[in-house]
Amino acid sequence: MLEAARTVVVRDLLLALRRPSDVATALLFFVIVASLFPLGIGAEPNLLRAIAPGVIWVAALLSSMLSLARLFAADHADGTLEQMLLGVSPLGVVAAAKVLAHWLVSGLPLVVIAPLIALQYDLPHSLYGTLAVSLLLGTPVLSLIGAIGAALTLGLRGGGVLLSLLVLPLYVPVLIMGAGSVDTAAAGLSAAGQLQLLAAFLALAAAFAPWAIAAALRISTE
Amino acid sequence: MSSTIKWYWFASPQTFYPLAGTLARWSGVLAAVLAAAGLYVGFFVAPTDAQQGEAYRIIFIHVPAAWMSMFLYVVMAFWAAIGLAFNTRLSGMMASAIAPTGALFTFIALWTGSLWGRPTWGAYWVWDARLTSELILLFLYLGFMALQAAIDDPRRADRAGAVLAIVGVINVPIIYYSVKWWNTLHQGASVSLTRAPSMASTMLAGMLLMALAFWAYSIAVSLARVRCIMRERE
């Protein structure tokens, strides 16, 4: 079972490595969206410092959603997904492995590049740790919830727009806790509460989302 | 024992169709009577509020609509879950018949709330926890309907919608509490929904009458819509 999961993760990572432009596009999108806000709002440093956590988190939400549509599409198109459905290893485990691989190529880079955006927004250095931890805990939840939407909209016309309609409302708690943790830390308080709630979301999503994804995949491939 | 048999008997669309028609008709009549009584109590019997004047009278629509909007989502998810678990055709039809009514009540709750907010709070929209979570509830309803509309095969639409409704219903309390928490962090108690603690009994009566009217309306409209879905599909 774990062997199957490992194989799926390695395979998906290898596929992503062979086509690095896909990963780069989502990352570039994240940077561009975050860079647009000062142009629209104005470059007043205090204002930027205040909106930085929210902007970074909203950009992370959008960027993670953008890459979701590709999560199952290629496997669905070439029949790999059907083989996974027929295989002996539980579909929930395969789904969890695919989500893990997706997070490694789309979520983790956001965590790495977020300090760059924070620098642009003149966020105090003491907050970088909280920002990184919140993204580290929050982006996997985005991948897990988003994968349910990606599985449900598999092969539908207008899938991308529909996906955002399904998934974005469900992202709200993660956004609130993620941006809230940095805001709280900026106010000089301990962000432990929000980070623990994010960890709780992650535990909850990791436990239940794979089965929902598996159910959605079965429905979509019937 | 006989009631058990009847439940299964009516689980089939063919046998449910005439029953739904009768129920829809009577619920419609009941809704009209209750709404007339409720509106009469609301507009002519209930006293004017000491602080809010006449503007408060919108709660006779607003509060029951908000109740229904949340309740209908749970009912919809319930039917969706039943449909997914027992693979009954009728349950999925019920879920997709309830969704537009739920979305309508959510919209009415938001609309009347903003009309009430203008004279009372001085703004059509504030980022109050309840308003925000009601807005997200509307998005969840619209997402459910959009997903079902995008899928051509009705059986797949039912099942995909069911998964989404179940995921949504698990998320609703999480969304509600995180929005509430966010709200207390971002703004102080500048705006409070709490009214005078003791509500005049006529106000309560009017509100309950309207709530019952909305119940009857929801039953009537959902059953009428489920009949349309049955005719469309079979």
Residues of A in contact with B163 (CB under 8 A): 148, 152, 212, 215-216, 219
- At residue A66, the pLDDT reads 86
Least confident window among A59-68, A126-135, B192-201: B192-201
Cβ–Cβ below 8 Å for A162 and B150: yes
Asked if residue B213 is part of any domain, the answer here is yes
- At residue A159, the pLDDT reads 75
Report helix angle B154-186 to A159-186, nearest 10.
Answer: 20
Of B100, B178, B88, nearest to B146 by C-alpha is: B100
- The answer to whether residues A90 and A210 touch, using CB atoms and an 8 Å cutoff, is no
Mean pLDDT of the A53-66 span: 91
Cα separation, A27 vs B35, in Å, equals: 55
Which tens digit of pLDDT belongs to each residue from B158-175?
Answer: 999 999 999 999 888 888
Whole-number percent of chain A with pLDDT over 90: 47
Mean pLDDT of the B10-28 span: 85
- At residue B113, the pLDDT reads 87
- At residue B199, the pLDDT reads 64
And the tokens for B179?
A: 């929005």
- Say which residue, B6 or A45, is predicted with more confidence: A45
Q: Is pLDDT of A73 > 90?
A: no
Residue in B139, B160, B168 nearest the CB of A219: B160
- At residue B4, the pLDDT reads 55
Cβ–Cβ below 8 Å for B168 and A157: no
Cβ–Cβ below 8 Å for B139 and A168: yes
Cβ–Cβ below 8 Å for B143 and A180: no
Report helix angle A91-106 to A192-221, nearest 10.
Answer: 120
Q: Is pLDDT of B3 > 70?
A: no
3-state secondary structure A77-134: HHCHHHHHHHCCCCHHHHHHHHHHHHHHHHCHHHHHHHHHHHHHCCCCHHHHHHHHHH
Asked if residue B93 is part of any domain, the answer here is yes
- Band (B54; pLDDT cuts 50, 70, 90): confident
Backbone φ and ψ of B77, nearest 5°: -65, -35
Asked if residue B6 is part of any domain, the answer here is no
- At residue B197, the pLDDT reads 47
In chain B, the number of structural domains is 1
Q: Note the helical H segments in B129-200.
A: 129-150, 154-186
And the tokens for A63?
A: 């960027």
- At residue B109, the pLDDT reads 92
Q: Is pLDDT of A134 > 60?
A: yes
Residues of A in contact with B159 (CB under 8 A): 219
Which residues constitute the domain of residue A125? 2-221
Total beta-carbon pairs less than 8 A apart between chain A and chain B: 73
CB distance from A170 to chain B under 8 Å? yes
Cβ–Cβ below 8 Å for B175 and A177: no
Map tokens 């994240």 to a residue: A30
Backbone φ and ψ of B207, nearest 5°: -65, -40
Cα separation, A42 vs A31, in Å, equals: 17
Distance from CA of A113 to the nearest CA of B (A): 26
Q: Is pLDDT of A25 > 50?
A: yes
Radius of gyration from C-alpha coordinates of chain A: 18
* Burial profile A82-116: b = 16 or more Cβ within 10 angstroms, e = fewer: eebeeeebebbbbbbbbbbbbbbbbbebbbebbbe
Backbone φ and ψ of B53, nearest 5°: 65, -145
Which residues make Cβ contacts (< 8 Å) with residue B21, sequence separation at least 6? B223, B227
- Band (B88; pLDDT cuts 50, 70, 90): confident
